[in-house]
Amino acid sequence: MMELAWLPALPAVTEKQLYKLFYLLWDLEFCQPCLESNFGADCHSNQCPKRTALTQYKSFVAYYKKICASYDPPVSSSEAALRSHDDVGRIVEILRRHPEKPKGDIHKLAFPTLDDSLDQDNAINLAVSIFAMSNCGSQESSPILLEEGSNRITWRAGITLSQYVELILPRFEGVESRQRFSHSFLDPSCPMVMAKDLKRLAGTSICGTDDITNHLRYDATNNVLFVFRHARILKEHLRLSKNCGNEPSLLDCLNVGAMPRQYVLEVLYSTQKIVFPLWDSDSVGLLQSLVANAGFDKSILDGQDHGFIKDDEERIDFQYLSLRLYDIFQEIQNPRPRGWLAKWLDRRSGARYVILATITGLLFAVFLGIASLTVSSYQTYLAYQAWRHPAGIN
């Protein structure tokens, strides 16, 4: 019996559906003919983002397709919670409009005629993963969603989207230490945490991540540093939240469809000013290789703020990423030993250092003893030969 080939639950996304998704996610200012025709008409406006959107959001489109490929409903496609990419956009729009509603209410808004099910829950999780650029998978989610080491906090029915975002983005509460770290990290005259140094001194690999909560997570076991690769998306979130006032709250930002402004600033600044400072040619070269080979957004090489950054945001206090930056700094200053010999000779271990010094001293003493014995033996031999064969007297 012939086996049926596996077919994805969602069909291939069309360009029209992508344009509509961009509009629902980030309020892009498409021209009126594009909006009125549901992006089906030819665009003749040089200012319309439709002309360049697919190029600018290339890395996001790849992420979106990967996320949608992970959707595997336990029912037939005709009964699935997500039957088209328009359904994904519809749930994203609901999430943007109601960040203060608990997940149970989001279920009712998204699927008013259906009872709650695991399939619907996975559909909402998928939409959150796209909106927040963070894994929102349940324990039953596809391994494609569960990126190594990424956030696995499940959004439960009783909490709101704003509460969930607060859970996945915990702040570092040590204010004084945080401010001290922040001022040091942003000082261009004394770069402390550069990826090129981490690669050179510790042999660390740089890996792109699609999960914004995974940014600058250092995996010591595998010697890998994760860096968020979607710089263009960061700038869209900054554009959306720019007019939210000074020090906007998390809910203020979510109400306009943006992730917390402070966190987004920290991700962008830590990438372009600290880990890959754009004023350093070697760091730019490393970034260019990541853009070419690791799916990084080309916008990461653009250091212009394009009006998204406020005047008082040129220097910021790292409220979320201070500890991760400090961990990288420590790894650069004191790289972990790699390989069995390096681990055995770990110079940071006081006990092993004493043992090594003792063994070195012992071996040196043995060497001196052997050398002294050799010299004494040779002198004895010469004396014996002189006695056996005394020199003749003229």
**Predicted local distance difference test score (pLDDT) of residue 1:** 34
Question: Please, what are the averages of pLDDT over each run of 10 residues along the chain (394 residues)?
Answer: 50 94 95 91 88 93 94 77 94 96 94 82 94 75 51 84 95 63 59 86 93 94 95 96 92 96 96 93 96 94 87 86 89 75 55 73 88 85 79 55
Domain ranges of the chain: 15-168, 175-333, 340-379
What is the model's pLDDT at position 137? 65
The per-residue pLDDT for 359 is 84
Q: CA-to-CA distance for 361 and 359, rounded, in angstroms? A: 5
SS (H, E, C) 88-132: HHHHHHHHHHCCCCEHHHHHHHHCCCCCCCHHHHHHHHHHHHHHH
- The pLDDT tens digits for 76-123 are 766 788 999 999 999 999 999 999 999 999 999 999 877 768 889 999
Query: Residue 42's pLDDT is what?
Result: 86
How far apart (Å, rounded) are the C-alpha atoms in residues 209 and 381? 74
8 Å CB contact between 124 and 110: yes
CA angle 34, 35, 38 (to 5 degrees): 85
Structure tokens at 326: 């400090």
Tokens representing 259?
A: 């992730």
Q: Taking the mean position of all CA atoms in its chain, how far away is CA 87?
A: 28
Q: Residue 38 region, left (φ>0) first, then alpha (ψ -120 to 50), else beta?
A: left
Tell me, what's the pLDDT at 348? Answer: 52
- Give the pairing type, strands 205-209 and 224-228: parallel
Contacts of 376 (CB under 8 A, 6+ apart): none
